[in-house]
Each structure stands twice: as C-alpha cells, then as structure tokens.
C-alpha cells in the first residue's frame, strides 16, 4: 500500500492505547525543512542515537516522531525528502520506544566487536526481524505491534515479528549479537557492495532513497541473470545500465544486439556495446 493508505489503515487498526510513530533519518532532510519540523514538533521527537559514542551523530542520525492524527503532514514531508524509514505502531510511550530502538544501533559482530548498524533500513530489518532466536531480539522488538517499511516501489509492507525464543539473555543484556550467518547477510555480497559503491557515485542514484538502494542493486543483478548473462563483469555492466536508465535502457536496440553477440560468441558485454556505438 502507498503511504497515505498505510497511515489511514494504521490509524484505524491500532489499539486505543497504542500510538503511531514515524522513523526517519535527519541527515537526509533538507536543513530548512528539518528546522521547520523541529520548531513545530520538538515535543514529540526523540533521537534513537542515545548511546554516548553516537552523540556527535545525533543531528544526522535516526529519529522518532509521534504521529498526532490523520491530518499530520510530517510523515508525507519526510517521505518526499527520502528520509522516512518506517512507520511503527506501539503501546510504548515515545521515550521508552526511543530507548528500546537505541539498542539496535550498536550490535556485536561474531568476533565480539561493537559496530554501528543502520538496523532500521528495509534490507537489514527483513533479515533481522526473522531471527527471533538471536540474543537481544526481544529487547529490540517487544512492545511493537506493527512495523511497516517501504520496498523498491515505495509500497509499504509489514515486518513479520514473532515472539523471541531466548528471553533469559534479554533480561540482563539488550545488545543484539549477530551470528556468522546473519553477519554475512548484512555485510552483503561483495558484488552487490562493489556495484552499489559505483552506482551511488552517479546522479541517477539520488532519485532513490538510500534505504532501498541496495535492494535496487539486487534487483538489477537479477535482471542481468534473467537476461542470460553469466560472467560477473557482464552482469555488473548490464546492472549499471539498468540502474542508470531503467527498462528503457536495457530494452534499447543497442543492448538487444549486444546481448545477442555475447550469447553467440566469446565476447564481453562491454566489447559488444562498443561495437554498437
């Protein structure tokens, strides 16, 4: 569903004792817009960068803002700024929810090192929310009724949150401990990471919120696979063309002829495209 529909549905569905919150990254909001939001809603905003080591990053980090009612325009403003990361329905009060979410910002890696994690991005949350066996899971997700995140098409979907399997640890410890399998998933495929670094240098990437850029790279590489490309370099070149120009770019006559040459003989996609120019 689109954001406007989500806000109506979440308002109608939530319990009388629950509240709706918008989670956003302040660093992605224009300074003028952020000042206006802070001036009008400072009493219902909280940073979730509460850890002392993150104090210098509070002004650009993630914040919660309580949504007052259906006439509250701030979520839409944040969405247009590309800064909105999630809509949360919870019975927790704003200060308690902000403190609880702060525990997701610094996690432990498999080698017991603390690291900063943008856990609230869709890519990370889709994996993290499915691991209810992790130490720290209940400390992060308890008291949250619904958590909605955007996908690549800016449609909003709910996370599937389940009761934690290990609650004894969370009674005395709140830090999420990543195991090796989850660490490798969150650390990302090297091809994806390399392509993402290349794409974000291009102006076209700025049309997409940072929270979905990695997912867009995954989608582009899948397109390359579907086109019949097998060499890693060919898939990266094809994916970059898709990320730069969408379906129009990869369905162009030049690309079509180039793909035919790649599949017909021992030639790279780059060489084939050069022959078409």
Domain ranges across the chain: 3-180, 190-275
The residues, ordered by sequence, that sit 6+ positions from 85 with a Cβ below 8 Å of its Cβ are 23, 24, 25, 62, 120, 121, 122, 149, 211
Cβ-proximal residues to 198 (8 Å cutoff; 6+ apart), any chain: 236, 240
* Region 2-13 average pLDDT: 73
How much is the pLDDT for 3? 79
Q: Which two tokens stand for residue 111?
A: 């080698």
pLDDT score of 152: 64
Instruction: Write out pLDDT tens, residues 238-251.
Output: 999 888 887 788 88
Question: Any idea what DSSP says for residue 91?
Answer: S
Sorted by sequence, the CB contacts under 8 Å of residue 93 that are 6+ apart come out as 19
Mean pLDDT for the chain overall: 86
Q: What is the mean pLDDT of residues 81-94?
A: 92
User: Mean pLDDT, to the nearest integer, of 226-240?
Assistant: 88
pLDDT in tens, 105-141: 999 989 888 888 889 988 889 899 999 998 889 889 9
pLDDT band per the 50, 70, 90 thresholds, residue 5: confident
Give the pLDDT score at 149: 92
| CA–CA dist 106, 51 (Å, integer) | 8
H-helix segments, the chain: 3-13, 31-41, 74-80, 94-102, 122-128, 137-141, 168-172, 180-187, 190-199, 210-226, 232-250, 253-264, 269-275
153 pLDDT band (50/70/90 cuts)? low
Closest CA to 65 of 129, 119, 20, 123: 20
Rg of the chain (C-alpha set):
21
Q: How many other C-beta atoms are found inside a 10 Å radius of the C-beta of residue 186? A: 18
Burial class (CB in 10 A: 0-12, 13-18, 19+), 226: exposed
Burial bucket for residue 118 (CB in 10 Å: 0-12, 13-18, 19+):
middle
3-state SS, residue 101: helix
pLDDT band at 17 (very low <50, low <70, confident <90, very high): confident
CA–CA distances in Å: residue 125 to residues 104, 185, 253: 10, 11, 39
């Amino acid at each position: 569903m689109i954001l406007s529909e989500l806000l109506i549905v979440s308002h109608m569905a939530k319990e009388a004792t629950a509240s709706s919150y918008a989670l956003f990254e302040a660093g992605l909001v224009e300074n003028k817009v952020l000042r206006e939001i802070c001036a009008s809603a400072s009493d219902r905003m909280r940073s979730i960068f509460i850890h002392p080591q993150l104090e210098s990053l509070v002004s650009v980090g993630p914040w919660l803002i309580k949504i007052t009612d259906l006439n509250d325009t701030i979520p839409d403003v944040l969405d247009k700024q590309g800064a909105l990361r999630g809509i949360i329905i919870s019975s927790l009060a704003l200060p308690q929810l902000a403190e609880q979410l702060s525990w997701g910002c610094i996690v432990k890696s498999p080698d017991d090192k603390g690291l900063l994690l943008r856990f609230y991005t869709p890519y990370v949350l889709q994996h993290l929310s499915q691991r209810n066996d992790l130490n720290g899971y209940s400390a992060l997700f308890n008291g949250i009724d619904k958590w909605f995140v955007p996908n690549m098409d800016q449609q909003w979907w709910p996370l599937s949150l389940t009761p934690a399997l290990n609650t004894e640890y969370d009674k005395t410890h709140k830090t999420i401990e990543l195991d090796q399998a989850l660490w490798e998933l969150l650390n990302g495929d090297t091809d994806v990471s390399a392509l993402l670094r290349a794409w974000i240098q291009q102006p076209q990437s700025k049309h997409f919120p940072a929270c979905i850029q990695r997912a867009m790279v995954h989608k582009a590489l899948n397109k390359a696979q579907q086109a019949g490309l097998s060499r890693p370099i060919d898939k990266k070149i094809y994916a970059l063309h898709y990320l730069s120009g969408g379906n129009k770019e990869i369905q162009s006559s030049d690309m079509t002829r180039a793909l035919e040459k790649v599949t017909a003989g021992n030639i790279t996609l780059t060489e084939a495209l050069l022959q078409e120019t």
